[in-house]
Amino acid sequence: MAEYSPLSTSEDQPTPQLQNKREFKINYITIFFFLAIGITLWTSIPSLIYLFSGRLEKSIPIEPSQESSVPTHTSPILNFEPSEPHPEMTKRIISAYFTSWSIYAREFNVKDLDAKKISHINYAFANLDADGSVKLGDPWADTDKHFDGDSWNEGGNNLYGNWKQLGLLKKNNRHLKVLISIGGWTWSTNFPAVAADLSKRKRMIASAIKMMYDLGADGIDIDWEYPSTESDADNYVELCKEFRHELDKYAEKIGEKIPFLLTAAVPCEPNVYKKRLKDMSKYLDFFNLMSYDMAGSWSSVTGHQANLYGDDLSVDKAVTSYISRGVPAQKIVVGIPMYGRSFIKTKGIGHPFDGIGEGTWEKGVFDYKKLPPQNAQEFFDDKVVASYSYDSITKELVSYDTPDVVRLKTKYVIDKNLRGVMNWEISADFFASHSRSLLAIEFDSLDGTNCLDSTPNHIYYPDSVYDNVRSYFD
């Protein structure tokens, strides 16, 4: 940008002794004209800097429709500063984990998602290899399966599977962001060694970002379960720092003004979450707090698995601890379990048990939409804000969140000025049209469309290996 220099106003210049009125008026108008231009340019500088900085305000709303405009990708942008990921975000997040395996026996597909009620989807899971490579968790479900409407006769190299379906969903709902979730309980084994090795970290980050732009994702969700040592904590910070730098570097490369997202799924258990949270927060957009599994088959007595309050483990204790350790409240997303944990041969909450129930898909775990079990009665514990069902005949107790508990948790999110809620996992909920749908209750309790984060998603992927992703399914 050319430097602005005002016109000379030196009083040493000779002034004609005789001028008629017309000459005086012309000179006066000329001076005023150039002065006005100078003032306009000067006051425009901050706007021009902002325009070329590549950081659009995250809270700018857009209509989530197919006709939404596409961001311009030809404007140059400046380097992102990794220590401050994004501008402050003001609207709420309602995120949901969508699992690759939900399309099998669960018969829950991308088309079943109510995208109008969701701001972010975390796609679970990508695998982390020992050498640091990030790979698809289920290639057939992820990229290969042909769904209804997919052609078998298209030319070129095209994306199919769940990721094509997610791309189409994003195209029609421009507020909807989709992230690749890496790890999870099964595929977290290699995190410690990869995070500790610079070359492996680089390989992980490079392969994850390539997967992101190949599939048309909006960012990366790190699901390391769990870092357990001080070295893990230090290496986790380095991983986040380098991830943020490379994500911003890639956005700069393609001229993208909307930053790619970096998030992490984090636990509630005190011995695990007492790490370098403040340092991680510099690089993460938000933390997905896994505020569930506080009781289960590993417990000595029955207990609430997701109680809001309590003397031992609770959502509130975890939130308070994260904030006290330097995580801004607006970066905390509270997890909601869409499942229940079963205990059998027990007299009730706080009593011994002997085994766990059959569950819906795995022993001891019921889909929320299958609860309460037939003949069981639901109970609400107002002291800790938790709920459960109990069958006095079979002696089975199931701990899960009812609609009333979720309403109180969303109120807690508002009162504490937290970022929003996250759901594990969406196939276990009722369809959003059902009166007991937890997703619908969250959406309504957080003030619906007025609350939902509507930052535009990404649709520009010039480096994708897939023809239909590069053309954004046109």
Which positions are annotated as active-site residues? 225
CA 370-399-383 angle, 5° bins: 135
Identify the CA nearest to 415 among candidates 440, 437, 390, 445: 445
Identify the CA nearest to 319 among candidates 338, 333, 305, 307: 333
Q: Tokens 């720092």 belong to which residue?
A: 241
161 conformational bin, left if phi > 0, alpha if psi -120 to 50, beta if neither:
left
The distance of Cα 398 from the centroid of its chain, to the nearest Å, equals 29
Residue 135 is given by DSSP the state E
Identify the CA nearest to 259 among candidates 269, 249, 273: 249
DSSP calls for 189-221: TTHHHHHH-HHHHHHHHHHHHHHHHHHT-SEEE
Token duo for residue 376: 């069981």
**By the 8 A CB rule, do 277 and 327 touch?**
yes
What gap in Å lies between CA 265 and CA 283, rounded to an integer?
A: 14
Residue 146 is given by DSSP the state P
SS3 283: coil
Q: What is the dihedral of CA 397, 403, 409, 410, to 10 degrees?
A: 160
Token duo for residue 333: 């997303």
CA distances (Å), origin 191, targets 130, 133, 231: 8, 11, 12
Q: Tokens 């899971």 belong to which residue?
A: 125
Buried b (16+ CB within 10 A) or exposed e, 103-129: beebebbbeebbbebbbbbbbbbbbbe
With residue 295 as reference, give the H or E element that holds it: none
What gap in Å lies between CA 180 and CA 263, rounded to an integer?
A: 10
SS3 384: coil
DSSP calls for 402-448: -HHHHHHHHHHHHHTT--EEEEE-GGGSPPTTSTT-HHHHHHHHTTG
Identify the CA nearest to 435 among candidates 426, 444, 425: 444
What gap in Å lies between CA 191 and CA 195, rounded to an integer?
A: 6
